[in-house]
Structure 1
Amino acid sequence: MLYKLTPAEAAHNILSTVRALQPETVALAVALDRVLADGITSPIDLPYWDNAAMDGYAVRSSDVLGCCPVKLAVVDRIAAGAFPTKTVGLGQCSRIFTGAPIPEGADSVIRQEDTTELEAGAVQIDDDRDAGQNVRQRGEDIQGGSLVLAAGTQ
């Protein structure tokens, strides 16, 4: 026997037989093709600190802007994964590598291609085009507490 249903009745019959799935927690590796039940916020700023966008020398822009070539004393070497041990003062700089935290006192990274190594402990800055540049600011990509993925994202 055939029954004639209106679209509303058909929808009601179907929806009355299904139930919503409960959210579950799964490992990221098996989350493909799943939908987020809740939004995800970042607990921290990314990057977590001001850091070098390239290899070079962390300087005070006021020491190099309009002064090139200029000789600076190298007071520290900051590898990626290391932290600064000295503050950059007047006439000073720190050798720095991509991703390393910017030392206190510095506000720029002069790319190594625009420098000339001099005697031990000194470098010549040959070009000031990077003054005030090449520093990734704390929270520049993601700010702590901000929504990274919204609920409903697949």
Structure 2
Amino acid sequence: MSSVELGNPVPDFEVQATGNQTIRLSDFQGKNVILYFYPKDNTPGCTTEGQDFRDRMSAFAELNTEILGVSRDGLRAHENFRAKHDFPFHLISDKDETLCKLFDVIKLKKLYGKEYLGIDRSTFLIDGAGVLRKAWRSVKVKGHADEVLEATKAL
């Protein structure tokens, strides 16, 4: 499966998420979808990012927009992370990296001099027709949720 491109439809996918949900992109036909990829549950940047989206949830809802967080963590970790921070949106477990590969977010990273493959913090805005309208890569958390909200308003 090749990766998605701006202006093109996103292929339908089926993934497992919190709340014992099976989520398909096609389930959101007619709604905008924010798909944000983050490296790991319960880390400082990822927690702040999730809280920022949570705190703007009503503004996104007014724009007919769903938010979904994605990482390679398992569902148990996701359930705990979601409950601990009262996230009103679902978190997708992408252990097999199906979505990560589709959106091309796995990148070579360095930590303490060691290289590894990890998720490059990225966000994607998909419109109600399933077309990728905006992509943010190598995201800096501060102010990001506001930027995504503004882009969603512009649809």
Verify same fold: TM over 0.5: no
**Rg larger for:** 1
Which of the two has greater strand per residue? 2
Q: TM-score of the superposition, structure 2-length normalised?
A: 0.26
Which of the two has greater helix per residue? 2
Q: TM-score of the superposition, structure 1-length normalised?
A: 0.26
